[in-house]
Copies of this chain bind each other. A is one copy, B any other.
Amino acid sequence: MSAKPLRLGLAGLGTVGLGVVKIVQQHADLIALRTGRAVQITAVSARDKTKNRDADLSAYAWETDPVALAKRDDIDVFVEVMGGHEGAAKLATEAAIASGKDVVTANKALLAHHGHGLALAAEAAGRVIRFEAAVAGGIPVIKALTEGLAGNQMRRVMGVMNGSCNYILTRMQNEGLSYAEVFDAANQLGYLEADPNLDVGGIDAGHKLSLLAAIAFGTKVSFDAVELEGIGAISIDDIRLAADMGYRIKLLGVAQMTGRGLEQRMTPCLVPADSPLGQLQGGTNMVVLEGDSVGQIVLRGPGAGMGPTASAVMADVLDIARGTRISTFGQPAASLATPVAAQSATAASYYMRMTLLDKPGALAKIATCLGEAGVSIDQMRQYGHEGDNATVLLVTHKATRADIDHAMSRFGGTGVLVGAPVALRIEEV
């Protein structure tokens, strides 16, 4: 083997960082065989050097400052697994590019917020930024989309990409528990971020969706244009009623290019219970890629954890070791279009649940509001009364979110509505 070793600077020694150390150490021979060169860690950085990490790091130089690590002359690739979209992670990534390093990152937040600028800088410097680990953990979805389906014009990209949310929804479904009960349990088990809203508010999953959308549709990454709705308002009633009709509720990301622009949504949706997305249980992730030639490809696997995330980081490292050079978002950053945001322009059937006063004409008043907003009703069920109230479930024919919102804005004026109505999109998968 004559090629020079590829030297990594590893910023971050949390779970993922230690997973990377483990693979580099345990599979040195396998990696050299597959890439034709040795892959070594030269230097590492983390805040606390004294922490017991159950790994032999003695051969690696230590930097407390990741920016200093990024600038070292003895690394070829800056591997960023620190997290955080401002501060040190951003500065260090910029420093790495400025000093001629390739970058491998697991940092979805950083790329969702600053990906376009970083990609421009990297390409100007002749460096690559790879981020397989940033989306759907161990699933090689960035590679599948950027390379494996590169001959396709993509039609739609979908995904369940936050394992914690799917864990919560699945436990509610399977055990009949309330959102609050399962949320607390998940939080105690350490399944949620320090700020749980990153998970249950759909922000983390929205970051991932915005990265997939940029690749799929050749647009600048545009997280601010993602329509975000978390799972906090999903009740066990909705889960049960949806199941009655053959659906499951998922926090589903959908990106598609429409005649009106790029639609990006990360919202709770109903999907058929017998579809791959509907069958997805627990913390597992799933991404659905639809292209004009290939049709539909479904990828399923672990969305988090030491091994899966480190596996994805190492896939990028091995690509660089093999000499693979691909634009961050699959085409030169300067050629990425500025997307026109089109929130929920595509029509869909909607599931609607509401509580009505049980008096004559109540349902007719609601139906009138819908009809005047141009929303027609496909199915309607009235469930048992609770005191003076009745639960009503509607499935609409295809309508836009704007029409649904318009109709709902008029429900209040009917005087028959109790509490707030729920409207969830039924995504055709």
Contacts and interface: CB of A to CB of B under 8 A. Distances in A.
Interface of A: 19, 22-23, 27, 30-31, 33-36, 132, 138-140, 143-144, 147-153, 218, 274, 276, 279, 291-302, 305, 307-308, 310-315, 317-319, 322-326, 330-332, 335
How many copies the complex holds: the figure is 2
A53 B209 CA distance: 40
Contacts of A19: 293
Contacts of A324: 147, 322-324, 326
A293 B24 CA distance: 12
A215 B53 CA distance: 34
B276 A331 contact: no
Given A139-B297, A293-B23, A36 B332 contact: yes
Nearest to A151: B314
A151 B23 contact: yes
Nearest to A299: B299
A107 to B, nearest CB: 19
A294 B276 CA distance: 20
Given A151-B317, A276-B300, 13 more contacts: A23-B151, A27-B152, A140-B147, A140-B149, A143-B147, A144-B144, A147-B315, A276-B279, A294-B308, A294-B312, A296-B301, A298-B300, A324-B326
A297 B150 contact: no
Contacts of A322: 147, 324-326
A318 B150 contact: yes
Contacts of A326: 322, 324
A107 B413 CA distance: 66
A19 B151 CA distance: 11
A266 to B, nearest CB: 22
Contacts of A299: 297-300
A123 to B, nearest CB: 11
Contacts of A132: 148
B315 A149 contact: yes
A302 B295 contact: yes
21 contacts: A33-B332, A132-B148, A138-B294, A140-B297, A143-B148, A147-B147, A147-B319, A147-B324, A149-B311, A151-B314, A152-B311, A276-B300, A291-B311, A294-B311, A295-B301, A295-B308, A297-B300, A297-B301, A298-B298, A298-B299, A322-B326
B152 A148 contact: no
Nearest to A32: B331
Contact of A140 (B144, B305, B315): B144
A35 B300 CA distance: 28
A72 to B, nearest CB: 23
Contacts of A33: 218, 331-332, 335
B307 A293 contact: yes
A319 B324 CA distance: 9
A-B complex: 5 closest residue pairs judged by Cβ atoms? A140-B148, A151-B314, A294-B311, A293-B307, A138-B294
Contacts of A30: 153, 218
Contacts of A149: 140, 311, 315
Nearest to A288: B300
Contacts of A293: 19, 22-23, 138, 307-308, 310-311, 314
Contacts of A335: 33
A318 B327 CA distance: 13
B294 A301 contact: yes
Nearest to A218: B33
Contacts of A148: 132, 140, 143-144, 312, 315
